[in-house]
Amino acid sequence: MKAPVPMHIPDGFLSLAVALVLWLVSIAFIGLALKRAGKELPEERLPLVGVLAAAIFAGQMLNFSVAGGTSGHLLGSALAVMLLGPWTAALVMACVVSVQALIFQDGGVIALGANLFNMAIVGVAVAYFAASLCRRLFGKRKGLPFVSAFAAGWLSIFIASLAAALELAVSGTSPAAIAVPAMAGIHALIGIGEGLITFGAVSLIMASFPQLLDSEAHKKSKASLVATAGLVFTLALLVLSPLASSKPDGLEWVAEKLGFLQLAQDPFFNIIPDYVMPGVHNEAVATILAGVIGCAIVIALAWLIVKRKQGEASKS
């Protein structure tokens, strides 16, 4: 079964040090999610997370044709967050990503820690942050859930892909100047599909069971931690990615300070080669441009959607 979104990193692409660190981080976060989700729905958590994980996994089969034979799929972090809240969503996505890796080899086993971090932690936190931000910006306006759905969907994919790119760069697999535009560029487009499907799903749920989404509006205060984390991830990655691409010394300096990184690296190549990509004069500009274009698309689409909603409302 092919992965729905090409963000899963296979084994062999990450250095063991990076993989190990991310394993530790993921274990910590998922342990925390277990506890927090346990407080929200102690006994019911078991069947809910299990079945929803199966549902999201199955839902990744639902595709829609985009153009010329390609089709869009869903990863699901944003939708899970909007339905279940951040902690339960993190658990659900962790299960989804784990089964993808363990059974279908979408993503490696050693690299699972990194993939969990990207999709179940960063993806979920960023989606939550985007949804919270939209709520704060657009208040109680009618189109709100739809805008949040699209924004959360797109941002979760885009930022997660930046994380993956930086992980590849730090591992020495690929210089940031190549990894970042490759991953981010493709996922900026794929994220649009995620945003659209998330938006479609939210539309249906709004129509039949709006209270499911509303209940997430009464967030417990602990969840603001997630929103903050999401904000931090987003900003950090948006800043680090172009930096790493254009100022390789920065990353090398960090790597040298954390001397242990050298141990797991092949002694024959450096982390940071000097690259100049033919055609593009400044990598930083290229990547920031990708991000800006992406955000512009998000905002434009969101505005269009809200306008349409208001149009429909005024007609009915």
Q: Which of residues 104-163 bind other proteins (CB under 8 A)?
A: 104-105, 108-110, 161
With CB under 8 A as the contact rule, the residue among 25, 32, 66, 284 that binds other proteins is: 66
The alpha-helical segments, DSSP class H, found in 85-175 are 86-104, 112-115, 123-138, 144-171
Per-residue contact track with other proteins, 216 to 255, x per CB under 8 A? ----------------------------------------
- Please state the closest distance from residue 295 (CB atom) to other proteins, in A: 19
The reply on whether position 63 binds other proteins by CB under 8 A is yes
11 near other proteins, judged by CB under 8 A: yes
- Tell me which of 24, 28, 39, 47 binds other proteins, using CB under 8 A: 47
Kindly state whether residue 168 participates in binding other proteins, applying the rule CB under 8 A.
yes
Main-chain phi, psi angles of 281, to 5 degrees: -80, -30
Q: How far is the CB of 112 from other proteins (least distance, A)?
A: 10
Residues 255-284 that bind other proteins (CB under 8 A): 264, 266-270, 272-278
> Smallest distance, Å, CB 235 to other proteins?
23
Q: Which of 71, 49, 69, 68 is nearest to 60 (CA)?
A: 71
Say how far apart CA 67 and CA 65 lie, in whole Å.
Answer: 6
Q: Interface with other proteins includes 43 (CB under 8 A)?
A: yes
The pair of structure tokens assigned to 236 is 């950090």
- Which candidate, 97, 309, 67, 64, places its Cα nearest to that of 195? 64
The dihedral built from the CA positions of residue 308, 191, 57 and 211, taken in this order, carries a sign that is negative
Does 311 bind other proteins (CB under 8 A)? Our answer is: no
Q: Which residues fall within 8 angstroms of residue 86, CB to CB, at 6 or more apart?
A: 124, 125, 128, 223, 226
Binding range to other proteins, per CB under 8 A, among 124-132, 172-180, 230-238, 285-293: 172-180
How many residues interact with other proteins (rule CB under 8 A)? 97
* 75-104 binders of other proteins (CB under 8 A): 79, 83, 91, 95, 98-99, 102-104
Q: Nearest-CA neighbor of 31 among 84, 76, 89, 91? A: 91
Dihedral angle computed from the Cα positions of residues 20, 188, 293 and 135, in that order, rounded to the nearest 10 degrees: -80
Pick from 99, 74, 100, 77: which is nearest to 90 by CA? 77
What single-letter amino acid sits at 24?
L
Nearest distance in Å: CB 52, other proteins: 6
The residue (of 173 and 228) whose beta carbon lies closer to other proteins is 173
Q: Say whether residue 175 binds other proteins (CB under 8 A).
A: yes
28: its two tokens = 């910590």
CB of 186 to other proteins, least distance (A): 5
| x-or-dash string of contact with other proteins, 197-216, rule CB under 8 A | xxxxxxxxx--xx--x----
What gap in Å lies between CA 287 and CA 282, rounded to an integer?
A: 9
